């Protein structure tokens, strides 16, 4: 079980009748429970609260109870209790405007029964309560939705997604963009737009997608144009997103998610936007961290940096929803924590680590030794004393300070030379560390770090090592030598600042596999996927993130994540960290490029969907 649920349980809540008092009076909502995917032993789903009143809902609490099933994890709400359960909003999803929906997701253990669809209670649910079965016909017959709907619910099985859309959708339309919902632009005529402080997609661009994607919801969907049929099948594919906390071995095949032939809608009292809000609920319910049994990390800024996550509610919300590990993009580098020989400066890093702890994220620390000129403290560059002793003090003072607070370290970063490096020595970068200590500085750094922090995983980290070429060969020779010498290395970090078409997935996979076969952990430490390849004059040049570029990038993310899962055994997965949260934060933003998972409004890009699909094996 993911720890997120335990953390949520830790946020103790008061149960009882008075508990549901908030949000009563003039406010009313349709509270629905839906199953988005089901397999032999469990299921995933979402609870959606749709504000059917004319005033905003500010804060909500709902409750439900199973006969046999039990929750095994949840996301996007504070859930407490152990049947009955109750859930309250998080800081960022408590407010629901009239006509809008909020949803949170969960996974259940069926405990030998079928997937139940309990009634949702709570004074906020003054409108209708409902249960919605959205599993498809390829779910095993023993758990077919129609037969598993409790007799008490007024369910009506509708055998076609097409007719369920027609019968239920009357609210505004959205664009299902390769499985992620975006607002349709009101005024932008083509491409992507930015309206009402959000990214949006023009109708023309949205409808230019291949089936099954396109415009979903709204009155025109009910007209049952061919695109609305496509939309209904995309409902199923989107729904699959929230199901991937299912272990891949037991998950239903993607055909379940993609099938649209038999969507059962189990309540006649579903709000008019049921299908649209089901899509929205499952897409909004995606949580990358809930889909993986290994850390999903993000590089963040803090301290005196612009865009510190400590001052950004938006970043914090994205962090809490999707990531359970952070790396300081900069503030734990050498010059930040050890600016002069006698000065160690830990306050900013300590504050970030405490912030991570409070938000359910562990810390992968970066980096004890890095050659980069402007990150090597000036005093080290001109050091005339005992260099190894000085470096040992550096490593051990820092590693000791953070011992118990970080789970892993990039101990040495980028020591292997690039293939094109004419100043390389024996295949290594001719850094100040190499000049002073030869290649021995690498072994020593790991030995010192291990003495200071015997618990943290210790990684060698580098870029362009996922190429399966000469640099990868030098990497393998280095780690083979370290293992032979008994150096305490736990894993290899692949930075993975990749181009849209390079390295090939086959080479990436082979590189991961070669390290994994040596018994080491493999961690993707700095993932970003550019849409431009400025080194290839025949590659397309994007001056904005066009739909085609976004779709290709999404697919590239999917393939990389899938390759990681194929090549690295579960016990050796150190995790995947993306190098920044939103596009403008990327070190490639100025190129220009758009390499990350969220746009500049912190809205998920198709890339997020690709990442999620990679995790779920779709």
Q: Pick one of 329, 450, 466, 490: the residue that binds ligand G3I (CB under 6 A).
A: 329
Comparing CB distances to ligand G3I, the nearer of 333 and 530 is 333
d(Cα 146, Cα 143) in Å, to the nearest integer? 9
Within 515-544, which residues bind ligand G3I (CB under 6 A)? Answer: 526
Q: Using CB positions, name the residue nearest to ligand G3I.
A: 587
Piece in contact with ligand G3I (CB under 6 A), picked from 107-115, 234-242, 326-334, 450-458: 326-334
Please check whether residue 265 is in contact with residue 154, taking contact to mean a CB–CB distance below 8 angstroms: no
Torsion of CA 52, 32, 145, 276, to 10 degrees: 50
Least gap, CB of 334 to ligand G3I (angstroms) = 10
DSSP state, 194? E
Q: Distance between alpha carbon 160 and the CA centroid of its chain, in Å?
A: 32
Least gap, CB of 80 to ligand G3I (angstroms) = 39
Comparing CB distances to ligand G3I, the nearer of 240 and 607 is 607
330 in contact with ligand G3I (CB under 6 A): yes
593 in contact with ligand G3I (CB under 6 A): no
Comparing CB distances to ligand G3I, the nearer of 105 and 595 is 595
Comparing CB distances to ligand G3I, the nearer of 329 and 443 is 329
Task: Give the residue from 485, 504, 618, 602 showing the smallest Cα distance to 554.
Answer: 618
Long-range pairs for 533-536 at CB < 8 Å and ≥24 separation?
A: 533/499, 533/500, 533/501, 533/502, 534/591, 535/499, 536/499, 536/501, 536/502
Within 489-508, which residues bind ligand G3I (CB under 6 A)? Answer: 495
d(Cα 285, Cα 101) in Å, to the nearest integer? 12
DSSP state, 439? T
Q: Compute the half-sphere exposure of residue 288: CA atoms within 13 Å on the CB side of its CA.
A: 30
Comparing CB distances to ligand G3I, the nearer of 38 and 526 is 526
DSSP state, 175? E
Q: Pick one of 305, 341, 418, 421: the residue that binds ligand G3I (CB under 6 A).
A: 305
d(Cα 131, Cα 32) in Å, to the nearest integer? 5
Piece in contact with ligand G3I (CB under 6 A), picked from 248-256, 325-333, 341-349, 447-455: 325-333
Comparing CB distances to ligand G3I, the nearer of 90 and 299 is 299
Task: Give the residue from 182, 111, 118 showing the smallest Cα distance to 148.
Answer: 118
587 in contact with ligand G3I (CB under 6 A): yes
Least gap, CB of 445 to ligand G3I (angstroms) = 16
465 in contact with ligand G3I (CB under 6 A): no
Least gap, CB of 567 to ligand G3I (angstroms) = 22
Query: Which residues face 246 on adjacent strands?
Result: none
Least gap, CB of 299 to ligand G3I (angstroms) = 7
Structure tokens at 352: 């970030």
User: Could you confirm whether 414 is annotated as catalytic?
Assistant: yes
Q: Pick one of 375, 393, 396, 507: the residue that binds ligand G3I (CB under 6 A).
A: 375
Comparing CB distances to ligand G3I, the nearer of 123 and 413 is 413
Task: Give the residue from 366, 354, 294 showing the smallest Cα distance to 324.
Answer: 294
Between the CA of residue 106 and those of 64, 286, 362, 563, what are the distances in Å? 13, 10, 22, 27
Instruction: Classify 473 as helix, strand or coil.
Output: helix
> Cis peptide before 503, with omega less than 30 degrees from 0?
yes
Piece in contact with ligand G3I (CB under 6 A), picked from 328-336, 348-356, 486-494, 547-555: 328-336
Q: Which of 329, 414, 466, 509 is catalytic?
A: 414
Q: Which of 329, 466, 526, 555 is catalytic?
A: 526
d(Cα 475, Cα 429) in Å, to the nearest integer? 12
By CB under 6 A, how many residues form the interface with ligand G3I? 11
Least gap, CB of 131 to ligand G3I (angstroms) = 47
Least gap, CB of 550 to ligand G3I (angstroms) = 22
Least gap, CB of 510 to ligand G3I (angstroms) = 22
Site residues, ligand G3I (CB under 6 A): 305, 329-330, 333, 374-375, 413, 463, 495, 526, 587
- Active site members: 414, 526
């Amino acid at each position: 079980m993911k720890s997120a649920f335990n953390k949520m349980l830790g946020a103790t809540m008061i149960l009882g009748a008075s508990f549901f008092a908030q949000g009563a009076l003039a406010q009313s909502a349709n509270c629905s429970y839906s199953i988005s995917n089901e397999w032999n032993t469990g299921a995933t789903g979402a609870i959606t609260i749709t504000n059917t009143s004319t005033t905003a809902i500010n804060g909500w609490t709902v409750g439900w109870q199973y006969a046999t099933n039990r929750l095994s994890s949840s996301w996007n709400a504070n859930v407490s209790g152990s049947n009955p359960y109750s859930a309250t909003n998080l800081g960022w999803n408590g407010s629901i405007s009239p006509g809008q929906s909020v949803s949170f997701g969960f996974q259940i253990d069926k405990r030998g029964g079928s997937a139940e669809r309990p009634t949702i209670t709570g004074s906020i649910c003054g409108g209708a309560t409902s249960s919605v079965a959205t599993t498809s016909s390829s779910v095993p017959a023993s758990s077919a939705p129609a037969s598993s709907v409790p007799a008490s619910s007024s369910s009506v099985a509708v055998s076609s997604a097409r007719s369920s859309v027609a019968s239920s959708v009357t609210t505004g339309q959205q664009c299902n963009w390769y499985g992620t919902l975006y607002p349709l632009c009101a005024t932008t005529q083509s491409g992507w737009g930015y309206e009402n402080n959000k990214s949006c997609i023009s109708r023309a661009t949205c409808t230019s997608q291949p089936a099954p994607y396109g415009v979903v919801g709204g009155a025109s969907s009910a007209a049952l144009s061919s695109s609305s049929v496509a939309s209904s099948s995309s409902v199923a594919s989107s729904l699959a997103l929230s199901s991937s906390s299912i272990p891949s071995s037991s998950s239903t095949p993607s055909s379940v998610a993609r099938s649209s032939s038999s969507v059962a809608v189990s309540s006649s009292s579903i709000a008019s936007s049921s299908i649209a809000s089901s899509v929205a609920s499952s897409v909004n319910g995606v949580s990358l961290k809930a889909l993986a049994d290994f850390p999903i990390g993000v590089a963040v800024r803090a301290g005196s940096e612009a865009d510190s996550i400590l001052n950004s509610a938006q970043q914090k919300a994205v962090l809490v929803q999707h990531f359970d590990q952070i790396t300081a993009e900069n503030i734990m580098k050498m010059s930040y924590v050890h600016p002069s020989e006698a000065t160690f400066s830990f306050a900013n890093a300590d504050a970030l680590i405490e912030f991570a702890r409070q938000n359910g994220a562990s810390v992968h620390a970066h980096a004890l030794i890095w050659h980069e000129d402007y990150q090597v403290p000036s005093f080290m560059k001109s050091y005339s004393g005992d260099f190894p002793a000085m470096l040992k003090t550096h490593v051990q003072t820092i590693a000791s300070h953070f011992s118990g607070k970080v789970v892993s370290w990039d101990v040495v970063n980028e020591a292997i030379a690039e293939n094109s490096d004419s100043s390389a020595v024996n295949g290594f970068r001719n850094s100040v560390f190499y000049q002073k200590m030869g290649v021995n500085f690498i072994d020593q750094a790991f030995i010192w770090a291990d003495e200071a922090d015997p618990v943290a995983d210790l990684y060698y980290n580098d870029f362009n090592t996922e190429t399966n070429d000469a640099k990868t060969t030098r990497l393998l020779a280095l780690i083979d030598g370290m293992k032979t010498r008994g150096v305490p290395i736990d894993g290899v970090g692949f930075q993975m600042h990749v181009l849209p078409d390079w390295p090939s997935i086959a080479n990436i996979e082979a590189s991961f596999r070669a390290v994994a076969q040596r018994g080491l952990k493999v961690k993707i430490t700095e993932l970003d996927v550019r849409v431009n390849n400025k080194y290839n004059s025949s590659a397309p040049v994007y001056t904005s993130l066009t739909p085609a570029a976004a779709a290709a990038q999404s697919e590239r993310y999917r393939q990389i994540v899938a390759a990681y899962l194929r090549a690295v055994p579960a016990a050796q997965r150190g995790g995947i960290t993306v190098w920044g949260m939103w596009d403008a934060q990327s070190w490639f933003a100025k190129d220009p490029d758009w390499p990350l998972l969220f746009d500049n409004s912190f809205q998920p890009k198709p890339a997020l969907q690709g990442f999620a699909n990679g995790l779920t094996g779709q």
